Amino acid sequence: MKHIAEFNEGEHIREIFLCKGVSSAVTKNGKEYMNVTLLDKTGQIEGKIWEPNDSGIDDFSKQDYVEVTADVNLWNNTKQLNIKRIRVAREGEYDPAEYLPVSPRNNDEMYKELLAVIDSVKDPHYNALLKKFFVEDEALVKRFRNCSAAKTVHHGFVGGLMQHTLGVAGVCDYLSKNYPVLNRDLLITAALCHDIAKTKEFTPFPENDYSDDGQLLGHIVMGSEMVGMAASEIEGFPDIKKTQLQHCILAHHGKYEYGSPKLPSLVEAMALNLADECDSKLEIFTEMFEANSEKKGQWLGNKRFLNDTNVRSTIVPD
């Protein structure tokens, strides 16, 4: 694959891009054409389709992966594509990692691990609820697998939400095995669902920004509502199980000022809050050190999400 950053004037290319935007326009002479914005992980480039009705020009839309056949021109000192053919690419023809930030962990493997965790939940109602979300609702599964866990703070990449969910569930699993006070089925179910409404709070990649519902309602309340609605559709789901699960989700930020409308009243809600903090803060450090790998052992400045503390990686003397 040749990347956008490597294109030269006069070249003829045939590559797959992610389409970030498309719109119709009209030339001064009244002729219709199309403006297309294409990107890969090295940058983005504008393209023109001067003959939209040509047979090589298939239907496509924003956020499709498209295979483009084009010439590279120069317009006002900027490279531009003159597009001859365009068609939607099929899954498998491209690797999303070439277009968007993606989790370092394999998406399919993470999903398999998720299914295994679900299987370990023995309570029939919680198990049914988890399958309803993560197996039966295919649209949700797709959004969940592609969603980030945050805009920028941590896990801000495709698969980030699933990776974070598994990380939190892992800590919860450790805690429930070592502290018998915890109800494992409730805790694991809450861990898997705690951020599920981030699929609604953020718009899909490549935008990955707050949606209107995200701004006005937030993932905490929407997550509680999703759980409430799903439980009401499961035969015989006990009210008290539903309420306790919703409470864990509502309280999982642990403090009012972080947007939780209730503080943890159940030990599982508190454990979930701690597990969430463990995974997110360790990931913040991990990403920060990776982004500054050349500064090993140096101070990296004050970090907003780490109490405005000046941080640095551990120095290991020889």
Q: Quick one: 33 or 210, whose CB is closer to a second copy?
A: 210
Q: Quick one: 68 or 271, whose CB is closer to a second copy?
A: 271
The amino acid occupying position 40 is D
Q: Which residues contact 172 (CB under 8 A, 6 or more apart)?
A: 187, 188, 190, 191, 271, 272, 275
Per CB under 8 A, 171 contacts a second copy = yes
Per CB under 8 A, 247 contacts a second copy = yes
Among 21, 156, 170, 206, binds a second copy (CB under 8 A): 170
Closest residue by Cα to residue 167 from 103, 262, 225, 82: 103
Per CB under 8 A, 235 contacts a second copy = no
Query: Over the range 258-294, which residues count as b (16 or more CB within 10 Å of their CB) and which as e?
Result: eebebebebebbbbbbbbbebbbeebbeebbbeeeee
Q: Quick one: 69 or 313, whose CB is closer to a second copy?
A: 313
Per CB under 8 A, 313 contacts a second copy = yes
Closest residue by Cα to residue 70 from 49, 98, 41: 49
Of the listed pieces 2-10, 92-100, 142-150, 179-187, which binds a second copy according to CB under 8 A? Answer: 179-187
Helix (H) or strand (E) holding 116: helix 107-119
Could you tell me if 231 and 129 are in contact, meaning their C-beta atoms sit under 8 angstroms apart? yes
Q: Quick one: 8 or 286, whose CB is closer to a second copy?
A: 286
Helix (H) or strand (E) holding 126: helix 124-131
Q: Which two tokens stand for residue 143?
A: 């959004």
C-alpha 98/C-alpha 17 separation (Å) is: 9
Of the listed pieces 9-17, 23-31, 82-90, 251-259, which binds a second copy according to CB under 8 A? Answer: 251-259
C-alpha 221/C-alpha 260 separation (Å) is: 9
Per CB under 8 A, 203 contacts a second copy = no
Of the listed pieces 16-24, 97-105, 137-145, 224-232, which binds a second copy according to CB under 8 A? Answer: 224-232
According to CB under 8 A, which residues from 260 to 289 bind a second copy? 260-268, 270-271, 274, 277-278, 281-282, 285-286, 289
Return residues touching a second copy (CB under 8 A): 167, 170-171, 174-175, 178-183, 186, 212-213, 215-218, 220-221, 224-225, 228-229, 238, 240-241, 243-244, 246-247, 250, 255-268, 270-271, 274, 277-278, 281-282, 285-286, 289, 299, 306-307, 309-317
